[in-house]
Structure 1
């Protein structure tokens, strides 16, 4: 049996669909089972509760051989360490006495980065804690997720613009959530690997946000502009969205590290495992979402 955490999240839902499609026996853990559609509820075993709760995660691990692990990364957590490391403690405590042999997690690039990296650094610390259990672990260390542009779908549709705290001409790697979920699913289904290792996922190309704006303009058939915002304003925006002071600072530190090259330095030469281009993502995911609205 495979356990899927965050089964209604953007990546978790894709992983859940993939493993069910492969005919695997699946359990999910989530706070509110009604968030799953009726068909899915009828096809999975369900444990209601937070996967940070010791009792709930212990129940969820019973009879499970592989786990897809992804903390929600709540912006209301006190600090990034609370959101990732502390959130995962009960899970790591429950693993040694469980039937689990394989774990796949979603994390960030940047191991060995010498400066503060906020959420990225906290994710890597979470990886180390899971790896210390001695079980087979694959950390899917992701560059920025291109799907995050969809968070600004209202601005793109209504104002023809999107914003990032990054110089417009700076080329950075971006990976599609569909590719991340596909790799996670293959690892969970196969379970033909051992030890602990990171898998860097960077997408097929480096793009600047100005280049992304040109792709968006072409796909959507109208001009879409990119506007750089200051890192300070970005932090204020996160606070305005309900982020704690610690999490807002964590986002600022992570974006600053990305602007300074934390992701570029960690990307491999062979990036064929994550083939989805930004143009393809715009055509297959963003454009249909805008048309639907």
Structure 2
């Protein structure tokens, strides 16, 4: 039995598509089962509730062979680190109680060097907690998601611009969530791996914001530019939109860590094999249809 959390999220729903095609026995945890596609209801058991609720976890993990664990963000959290600890603690208790053999977790690149990296540091605290149970664990190490560009559909459409706080020429890796989901599904379907390791899913190339703007312009057939905003201005804007100061500060710290080289600490062999979707392909197959819709 494979258990999937966040089944309507960007990674969870795509991992489910792979698992359904493989005809694997499935169980999902969903706050709102009505949001699940018909195919999920047809192929999976559905446990209603939050994935950090001990009672929900007890029901979902009974007899489980593997689990896909995604820790969702909480922009209302008073502390980024405390959110990670409080959300993951009940999982660790349930893993131990139900002797779950394997867990695949969505984490980040840069674990060996991350210091004061906001939400990235918090997700590494999550990794550490899960590993402390002794469970066989694969931590999926990825950089920023190409799919985060979908949050900026409106300025791309109306102004021909997207925003960020990295320097325009700062190259860094990016990956597509569909590649992360494929790697996760492969691990969930494989009952042979043991131990605790990080599996890098870095994307096939390093790109700067200016590189992305050029590719987007070519694929969308019109000029798209990048506008860098001061980190403090972005932080203030996030707070104005309802984030806590702590959560906004965490995102600022995370961006600063990426700019300082968080994702550059180690080489990533076979990048095109583990995460083959280029940004150009993603723009053609995901961004352009989203803008058209």
If the length of structure 2 is used for normalisation, what is the TM-score? 0.97
SS in 1 for 2:27: strand
Deviations 1:108-140 (CA, angstroms, capped at 9, x unpaired): 122232631000011011001101111110000
Q: Aligned Cα RMSD in Å?
A: 1.2
Determine whether 1:2 maps to 2:6: no
* Counterpart check, 1:176 vs 2:176: yes
Match of residue 164 from structure 1: 164
Q: Deviation of residue 241 (structure 1)?
A: 2.9
Which residue in the other structure is 1:259 paired with?
259
Once the two structures are TM-superposed, the CA of residue 85 in structure 1 deviates from its matched residue by: 2.3
Contact 1:29–1:49 (Cα < 8 Å) also in 2:
yes
Pair 1:83 & 2:83 matched: yes
Q: Normalising by structure 1, what TM-score?
A: 0.97
Gap runs ≥5 in structure 1: none
Distance 1:40 1:90 in 2: 25
Report the Cα distance in structure 2 between the residues aligned to 1:135 and 1:99, rounded to whole angstroms: 8
Q: Pairwise mapping of residues 113-152 of structure 1 onto structure 2 (< 5 A)? A: 113=113, 115-152=115-152
CA distance in 2, matches of 1:97, 1:53: 14
Deviation of 1:32 after TM superposition, in Å, equals 1.0
Residue pairs, 1:11-160, within 5 angstroms? 11-113=11-113, 115-160=115-160
Cα offsets for 1:159-197 (capped at 9, x unmatched): 100001110011011011011000000000012210111
**CA-CA distance at 1:269 after TM superposition:** 3.5
Task: Give 3-state SS (helix, strand or coil) of 2:265's partner.
Answer: helix
> Is 2:261 aligned against 1:279?
no
Please say if residues 8 and 36 of structure 1, whose CA atoms lie closer than 8 Å, have aligned partners that are also in contact. Answer: yes
The 3 A distance-change label for structure 1 pair 85 and 129 is: same
Q: Partner of 2:107: helix, strand, or coil?
A: strand
Contact persistence 1:78–1:244 (CA under 8 A): yes
CA distance in 2, matches of 1:144, 1:173: 7
Structure 2 alignment gaps of length 5 or more: none
Given the alignment of the two structures, is residue 197 of structure 1 paired with residue 202 of structure 2, yes or no? no
Q: Superposed, which structure 2 residues align to 1:174-253 within 5 Å?
A: 174-253=174-253
Question: How many pairs does the alignment contain?
Answer: 292
Contact 1:175 1:274 in 2 (8 A): yes
Between 1:231-240 and 1:217-226, the stretch displaced more is: 231-240
State the 1:77 CA deviation.
1.7
Q: Distance in 2 between matches of 1:109 and 1:78?
A: 25
Shift of 1:34: 0.8
